[in-house]
Amino acid sequence: MISEIKDLIKSTVNPVSGKPESEENRVKDIFESEGDIVIKYDREGLSPSQKRVFEDNILSSVKDKVPADKISFSSISKDSGDVYKSLKSSDDDGPKKETSKPVENATLNVGHGKPAPKKEVPNVKKVIAVASGKGGVGKSTVSVNLALSLKKLNKKVGLLDADIYGPSLPILLGKRDEKPKANDQKKIIPLEAHGLRFMSFGLFIKEGEPVIWRGPMLGGVLNQFLFDVDWGELDYLIIDLPPGTGDVQLSMIQSVSVDGSIIVSTPQDVALLDAIKGFNMFTQVKTPVLGMVENMSSFICSECGASHDIFGNGGVKTEVEKLETNLLGQVPLDIKLRKGSDEGKPYMAFNFDEGDEVSKSYMAIAKNVDKILFESKKDKKGFFGKFFGK
């Protein structure tokens, strides 16, 4: 089989030089791994779009022998090494869990998109996706602090960083140097931070290394994070999405049943316009929207005590009324929230104080989410009637 593939790709043309593979010898290795064929090649001098053409050429040369979804590519270059190589073990043995013992380093299978049917994540009661139309409005900050607030309500919570292009949870949770392990069933063991389980693509790549993938490959990794991570028993799995309405959102919606999404927005018009697109995307694909969170909603000056509406006022409240959804809460702009995130010491784990505005707002969001999700089961015509067919 391997030698037949080798013969077939000899005529594959390098899009830069126009020369066939038989002259270029870019392909360094072809091997089988867990039923897939892995083709390892030298990507030196190829731009991302040329890599894509090169890989597509290979796929079409071998298509009569092997279907595209059975082929994975691993590209190597002189300076950065192999992006998809197995992970080096860290000095730390990682979090200890009673149920699954680490036996080997976890690896990611980056394939050419294996469409999977929509599934439930085993042992996870509710899956929540945190989304926004626009970048930088606070999705990751909301995901982490909402997770910690749900934990304060005695819930078991996991966090999945689905922002493949700009993963930030390892930094926000203070675990940027840790590497995940796999157990004896080859399941990835989530890391633990501040009482939360979490998994992030950022734990598998070097910081600062760009991720240049197309849609179907993202789907493969997302599936692995949802179904090949040993999440254990959870009340909530919170998925921190990248901004916008792109490939990752679509892959997620196609592969997992999401119980509810939360749209984060700042009160300003530009962010709101994009937030509405996010809202409409979820409703179009029949994924319930739990409501919106207005982040950076006001700034209370510690010097003069006055409240300043830096990004405007009331924008999200007006919008949720128009969209007939819920305002889950309004989180003030607070420098301690930003500092806590940068230092890996999230606010609700390190600065929680029942009386302060940030803590109150997050606890209110957690209670609203919990109430909506569990009440909706009892009363499908209540808050959620709109999405469950009244």
Chosen residue from 12, 57, 132, 368 binding ligand ATP by CB under 6 A? 132
Q: How far is the CB of 347 from ligand ATP (least distance, A)?
A: 9
Instruction: Please report how close the Cβ of residue 260 comes to Mg ion at its closest, in angstroms.
Output: 19
Instruction: Confirm or reject binding of residue 268 to ligand ATP (CB under 6 A).
Output: no
Residue 130 CB, shortest distance to ligand ATP, in Å, is: 8
Q: Is 203 in the site for ligand ATP (CB under 6 A)?
A: no
In the block, residue with structure tokens 């080096």: 88
Sheet of 71-77, strands arranged across: 27-33, 36-42, 71-77, 81-82
Kindly write down the DSSP assignment for every residue of 225-268, as one continuous string: HHHSB---SEEEEEEEPPSSSSHHHHHHHHHB--SEEEEEE-SS
Euclidean distance between CA atoms 390 and 382, whole angstroms: 9
Annotate each residue in 273-302 with x if it binds ligand ATP (CB under 6 A) or - if it does not, as one string: ----------------------xx------
Record the tokens describing residue 343, joined without a space. 């230092």
Please state, in angstroms and rounded to a whole number, the distance separating the CA atoms of residues 181 and 329.
37
Cβ nearer to ligand ATP, comparing 111 with 174 = 174
Number of amino acids touching ligand ATP (CB under 6 A): 20
Using the minimum distance from each CB to ligand ATP, give the nearer residue, 139 or 151.
Answer: 139
Min dist CB 226 to ligand ATP, Å, is 19
CB of 50 to ligand ATP, least distance (A): 28
Does residue 127 contact residue 241 with C-beta atoms inside 8 Å? no
Does 141 engage in binding with ligand ATP (CB under 6 A)?
A: yes
Q: Are 307 and 314 in contact (CB under 8 A)?
A: no
For residue 76, what are the contacts with CB-CB under 8 A and spacing of at least 6? Answer: 28, 40, 41, 42, 43, 82, 83
Interface with Mg ion (CB under 5 A): 139-140, 168
Distance between start and end Cα atoms, the chain: 56
Residues in contact with ligand ATP by the rule CB under 6 A: 132, 135-141, 163, 166, 168, 243, 295-296, 331, 333-334, 337-338, 341
